Amino acid sequence: MNMVDIRAAQAAYRDELVAAGLLIPTGVDGLYGRSGVFEEVVERFDALVTRWGGADGAEAMRFPPALNRQYFEESDYLKSFPHLAGTIHSFGGDEKAHRTLLRRLEEGQDWTEDQVATDVVMTPAACYPVYPTVARRGALPDGGRLIDVFSYCFRHEPSIDPARMQMFRMREYIRIGTPEQVVEFRELWLERGRGMMASLEMPLDIDVANDPFFGRAGAMLSSSQREQKLKFELLIPVTSTEQPTACLSFNYHQDHFGHIWDIRTADGGVAHTACVGFGMERVALALFRHHGFDPAGWPAAVRKVLWG
Ligand code: ATP
Ligand code: ZN
Ligand code: MG
């Protein structure tokens, strides 16, 4: 399939999902409502993740889908992914500026001139609020920390691909500790991720991957990330078999976040971090793709895994 065919397949699958009522269009690419059936699948998969990971004693944290702007600025996100970031702005003008805003709105012109940055930005990945939060607690305990998060995330990547949304949910486990603890965690979840998705009878492949670092310097960061095998993705065909969709990802950040926020292990070293991320919408879309739009008709074994 060439790019034109891949786009056509993406558009076709999106249209099918919309026609079936699973996704509710809003007029913006990548921004959808979800039906009750879609949400139930997301909830059942979320519960499945807990079944596989819940016994490890992770500490649950739930943040709103926005991040303290200061944390965001400190995180280096703007160095690597300025093109994906979403910042929250609000009207900051006086009454005169308000009249101008209304006039421009009326005339269909740009009205955003007096919008000013607030203290919050959209969360780009569910784990971002965790590192500065853990850092504030001081040095890690001997065993390090294991955190469980779930959040809507925003990325400015409008697409006709229904699997590439601008707002989507990510469940994550985050390991913070010594390099050994963190590498062991990632190995464990690579195996668990494979087992979990195989139990849902999904065709899958795990492969080395890279993040879409911005610009010319970004190309070097991407290839170094690949060479060091810092990121793996669990891929499932959703709109194309040649370009399968990353449904889970396994990321080793080395001491990147530990260094930025000065997170220390019990013995004083700079903490390493890793996370496993589950793309809730992508997993749901993969299930609908391979087992059909009506969960009542899914294979009995898959229904048993999800509904017990
Ligand atoms: P891709 O390579 O497809 O852009 P990614 O590498 O950006 O994916 P991560 O940053 O690792 O993905 O995010 C963790 C998980 O969140 C992914 O494994 C995926 O399941 C999900 N995800 C990422 N971007 C999107 C998106 N735009 N829409 C829906 N789910 C997404
Ligand atoms: Zn993460
Ligand atoms: Mg991406």
Q: Is the pLDDT assigned to residue 40 strictly greater than 80?
A: yes
The set of residues, in sequence order, having a beta carbon less than 8 Å from that of 276 and lying 6+ positions away, is 172, 173, 185, 186, 189, 193, 248, 249, 250, 251
- 1-28: average pLDDT: 95
E strand intervals along the chain: 23-25, 32-34, 59-60, 66-68, 87-91, 115-122, 145-154, 167-177, 205-208, 231-236, 245-254, 272-279
The reported pLDDT for the residue numbered 3 is 86
Residue nearest (by alpha carbon) to ligand 1 atom 25: 164
Which amino acid, 232? F
- The answer to ipTM > 0.95 is yes
- 279-297: average pLDDT: 98
**Mutation choice for ligand 1 from 159, 168, 239, CB with most ligand atoms inside 8 A:** 168
Please give the CATH topology (third level) of the domain spanning 3-86+124-307: BirA Bifunctional Protein; domain 2 (3.30.930)
- 250-262: average pLDDT: 98
Q: Where are the domains of the chain?
A: 3-86+124-307, 90-120
- 229-255: average pLDDT: 97
Q: How far is the CA of 112 from the centre of ligand 1 (A)?
A: 30
The reported pLDDT for the residue numbered 2 is 84
Percent of the residues in the chain that have a pLDDT greater than 90, as a whole number: 98
**Mutation choice for ligand 1 from 170, 190, 230, CB with most ligand atoms inside 8 A:** 170
Taking the CA of 159 as reference, the closest ligand is 1
